Each structure stands twice: as structure tokens, then as C-alpha cells.
Amino acid sequence: MKDFLSRIARECVPYQAGEQPLGKKFIKLNTNENPYPPAPKALEAYKNFDFSQLNRYPSFEAPALRAAIAAAEGVDASNIFCGNGSDEILALAFRAFFDEDGQGAAFADVTYSFYKVYAAFFNVPAHIVPLEEDFTLDLKKLTAASAQGLIVANPNAPTGIGIPLAEIEPFVAENSGRVVILDEAYMPYFKQSAARLVKKYKNLVVVKTFSKGYSLAGIRCGYAVADEALVEGLERCRDCFNSYPVDRVCQAVCTAAIADDAYYARTEALVRGERERLTEEFTRRGFTVLPSVTNFIFAKHPAMGGEALYKALYARGILVRNFKGPRTGDFCRITVGTHEENDGLLAAVDDILKN
């Protein structure tokens, strides 16, 4: 029987976002959100927003927001492209920088799983480069892929492992003949951003988000930093899809958030401290924990599969993530929570291990 759906709508394998539970109270450590609220200046901008303006479309040029981002990143406003979360920017990047049925996009086997979804959705061949045994990425192997462009999540998810800027720059230079996309969603915790390099390298696109470091996952804003010609390519694709992806409230709140870097320096330090505590405490309990530079840890226990741990924690009111698959199935990705949430997590782990 005819089902009215296109082939792609029928056959695509969508990204599975982490649960957003309604009702039951969980300690929510499953989607790498920031456990702390947005900065006071961001909250103030929201409260003081003149909602009577909402009859008008927002500016697609987002001048104040782009100027604030540009100043924070040390580039020009013409190097900034804003979108409805970095997921939207990554999707537009697939359209803007990769041809359908062309040479394709190369990325790691264990990385942000949305890349594979976008590749299939936009009909871009995917070159999957396996991470090393220890889950590090050998950039030479990525460079060896005969792809139209390369994508690296730095720091990587779900592993939490970061690549220093000193290794990223020669990689970008070596691949000057094709686009290099660096997904820096978790860079606030690593401080090795390549964003400034866009002034030097015409092939570089750095994608960032307000969802993690800025504690604004609920408002949906991300941005790309790139050479003007690449920004223009993203704008052309945006304007074939949705001219106004960043609403007026979002522009005001995110602009204000950037002005509160002292607040975010404090919350980032708290998260880094708690990450070290969780790494130590999990290691003490017999887990293998990959060396994270992010706001989450990727951990496995020798006596328990990742799914079993996920279920046992779920039963105790704690949400984490387990990614099925040969290399990731044994692990759980656990977002760093507040000190009290992490106490709850550790108590639940102790309870599981004693049974």
C-alpha cells in the first residue's frame, strides 16, 4: 500500500538523541548538558527581553550575536555563521561542503554518531577510519582517506579524548586542498580551539555550540567559524532551507552569555574538578576510564557490560548512555553532574557493585 513517504523518509536511520525524561525525577547524566544554570547575564537578558518585538522575524545576520562571538574568538563577524544548534550547522555543512555521490566525508568509527546519519541523509559517501586500540585518532590515517573533506570531533565524543592544537594545525595545513571540519562542542573544557586558525587556513571550519560550556542547550544555538567564502556557502544552503534559524530571544540571550565569561570560567572549573573526581572514583572501583578532557567520562567495568550498567543505574534513578556496537557496547558515557549528583551516582555504583 502507498505510504506517501519518500524513499529517504522510509529508509533513513535517524540519530537517537538521549532521553529527555518528563515526570520521573532522574539524576540526568545522559546528554552532556551543563549541570549549572546559564550565566546571570544571560538570564537577565531573557527577563528583560521585549517580547512585544516577536511579531517581527529575527535578523538573519544576527549582528550583535555575531559581533560578540567574533570578538570572543578573535576573528571578524564575517567569519561567523550562526544556526539552530551546532547539529543544524553540521547538517548544513554536509550540504555546503560535500557533493552527493562525490568523494565523500571521512571521520572516525567511534565519534559523534550524527555524522553517519547526515552522510546517509545527504547521500554523501562515508569513509570510516577506525580509532586506534586506545581510542585515539591517528590523524595521518584520516589524511590518507580519499575523501572530499574530513570531520574531527575535538575533543571526541563519546570517548572524551582531545587532540592538542599543536597536532591539529599541521593536520589542517596538510589537508589544505579539502575542507576540514572540527566539531569543538566540548572545547570549553579543553581550551585548545583552532578557531583563530581560520584567518590562516581557507579550508577550515570550526563548529561550536552554546549547549555545553554556556549552559544553554535549551535555547538551541551553535556557530561556525570559517573563512568568509565558506561562511557564504553555509548561508546559501541555509537560505535554501530556513532563513531564520536563530530567533530573537536566542540572539539576545546568547549575546549576553558571552559577556559573562567570569561565571563560565567558574562553572568550567567545577566541571573539570568533578570530572577528575569521577575518573578517580570509577578507577578505584575497577572501571577503565578513558582520559577525558570534556564534561563526561567514558567508562567500562570488567565484570559488567555497558547495557547492564545503564539498566542498573536507570533502576536507581540515574540516566547515562550506552552506545551499542562492537567497540562502544562495553562502555557507558556519563556526563559530569554537580557534586551532589555525582555523589548520588557513586552511591548507586557502589550499590550495584555490592549486589
Which residue from 157, 252, 253, 345 is in contact with ligand PMP, where contact means CB under 6 A? 157
Task: Record the cell numbers describing residue 111, joined without a space.
Answer: 565519534
Write the binding mask 92 to 121 for ligand PMP: x where contact by CB under 6 A, - elsewhere. Answer: --------------------x---------
User: Which helix (H) or strand (E) segment is 307 a member of?
Assistant: helix 306-315
**Between 185 and 349, CB nearer to ligand PMP:** 185
Binding segment (CB under 6 A) for ligand PMP, from list 82-90, 120-128, 133-141, 315-323: 82-90
Cα 302 from Cα 305, distance rounded (Å)? 8
Amino acid at 29: L
Query: Does residue 211 belong to the site contacting ligand PMP (CB under 6 A)?
Result: yes
Of the candidates 254, 247, 255, the one whose C-alpha atom is nearest the C-alpha of residue 54 is: 247
**Does 217 contact ligand PMP by CB under 6 A?**
yes
- Residue 68 or 246 having the CB closest to ligand PMP: 246
**How far apart, in whole angstroms, are the C-alpha atoms of residue 200 and residue 347?**
49
Among the listed ranges 81-89, 263-271, 313-321, 340-348, the one in contact with ligand PMP (CB under 6 A) is: 81-89
Task: Indicate the residue among 153 and 318 with the shorter CB distance to ligand PMP.
Answer: 153
Identity of the residue, 13 or 144, whose beta carbon is nearer to ligand PMP in the bound complex = 13
Contact call for residues 89 and 223 (beta carbons, < 8 A) = yes
Q: Which residues pair with 332 in a beta bridge?
A: 299
CB contact at 8 A, 139 and 167: yes
* Contact pick of 39, 153, 225, 352 for ligand PMP (by CB under 6 A): 153
Closest CA to 312 of 280, 348, 338, 286: 348
Distance in Å, CB of 353 to ligand PMP, minimum: 28
Count of all residues that appear for the chain in the document: 355
| The one-letter amino acid at 185 | A
Q: How far is the CB of 285 from ligand PMP (least distance, A)?
A: 26
Torsion of CA 317, 320, 325, 329, to 10 degrees: -70
Taking residue 193's Cβ as centre, other Cβ atoms within 10 Å add up to 19
Q: By CB under 6 A, name the one of 154, 209, 255, 279 that touches ligand PMP.
A: 209
Number of residues near ligand PMP (by CB under 6 A)? 13
Among 93, 147, 181, 185, binds ligand PMP (CB under 6 A): 185
- Minimum CB separation of residue 96 from ligand PMP in Å reads 17
Q: How far apart are CA 305 and CA 179, in angstroms?
A: 38
CB of 87 vs ligand PMP, minimal distance in Å: 3
C-alpha cell at 352: 550495584
Nearest to ligand PMP of 153, 163 (CB atom): 153
> Parallel, antiparallel, or unpaired for β 331-335 and 296-300?
antiparallel
Give the CA angle between residues 74, 77, 81 to the nearest 5°. Answer: 105
Residue 224 in the binding site for ligand PMP (CB under 6 A): no
Terminal alpha carbon distance of the chain? 52
Query: Is 75 or 110 the residue whose CB approaches ligand PMP more closely?
Result: 110
Residues in region 10-69 near ligand PMP by CB under 6 A = 32
Residue with cell 580519499: 146
Does 87 help bind ligand PMP (rule: CB under 6 A)?
Answer: yes
Q: Residue 109 or residue 343: which is nearer to ligand PMP going by CB? A: 109
CB of 333 to ligand PMP, least distance (A): 10
The secondary structure of 230-249 as a DSSP string is HHHHHHHHHTTT-S--S-HH
Nearer to ligand PMP, 193 or 349 (CB): 193
Cα separation, 80 vs 131, in Å, equals 31
The answer to whether residue 222 forms part of the interface with ligand PMP (CB under 6 A) is yes
Pick from 183, 227, 260, 330: which binds ligand PMP (CB under 6 A)? 183
Chain residues in the site for ligand PMP (CB under 6 A): 32, 85-87, 112, 153, 157, 183, 185, 209, 211, 217, 222
